[in-house]
Structure 1
């Protein structure tokens, strides 16, 4: 089971304020624990929305709309993520609870969401085979 720990943005993350050295060290140690446990798939911080673009589809079948950042709804902004693969929802929650306060200022908020597996979206054998092939190609690229 894959889960994404979504780190919510704050006014500081949107301002591009770098984390304190103490927080960087705490996150490094946390990520090392995830690696040692064999559950870490990816972990990254995101640049502020001022460098981003939002693409929306206002009409079914219509052209997409592109809007440059920054975006104002801080509650909906993502500052970073950690993607893990674990055996259960409970294990994912345990790992999320061990993450240091992502902003180090008592403003941190983490949203934990399970990732859909392809077999949960379709039962079409051809689609599943194509997805498996794409994942295999992706893994092969990582070793190059």
Structure 2
């Protein structure tokens, strides 16, 4: 199963996001362990929200909000894409992630499985059956 692992922190702490040399080295070792175990498919750190934008869709239209996102309680600082056997395996790997106390106690790794095509088998089968059913004939 593929999972997205997001590193999240408090929005107020976003400017603390530049890693120290020590933290960079710890993350390098951790990432190498993930790669060597065949777990890590990809991953990157993200620049602060001040350098980004949000596209907001509402019933009345679409708007763009330039960063920083002051209203955000949590911001995503980076991510990995992992291939694991189970959510439990992903949790075990996440628990090994280096921790940087400069960010306080609010550091979170959120793990979310990707949808796979097999997750939609029932929906696709129903759609396919609807397409194959002949339309009712109207005898005039």
Classify the TM-score, shorter chain: 0.7 to 0.9
Q: Unpaired runs of 5+ in structure 1? A: 126-144
1:52/1:2 Cα in 2 relative to 1: closer, same or farther (>3 Å)? same
Give the TM-score taking structure 1 as reference length: 0.74
User: Is this contact kept in 2: 1:54–1:69, CA < 8 A?
Assistant: yes
Q: 1:1-144 alignment to 2 at 5 Å? A: 1-10=1-10, 11-12=12-13, 14-15=14-15, 17-59=17-59, 63-101=61-99, 103-105=100-102, 107=104, 108-121=107-120, 123-124=123-124
Q: CA RMSD in A?
A: 2.2
Q: Which structure is larger by alpha-carbon Rg, 1 or 2? A: 2
Distance 1:76 1:53, change over 3 A: same
Unmatched runs of 5 consecutive residues or more in structure 2: 126-140
Deviates more, 1:104-113 or 1:32-41: 104-113
Aligned mates of 1:63, 1:106 — CA distance in 2: 37
Partners in 2 of 1:75 and 1:111 — Cα distance?
A: 15
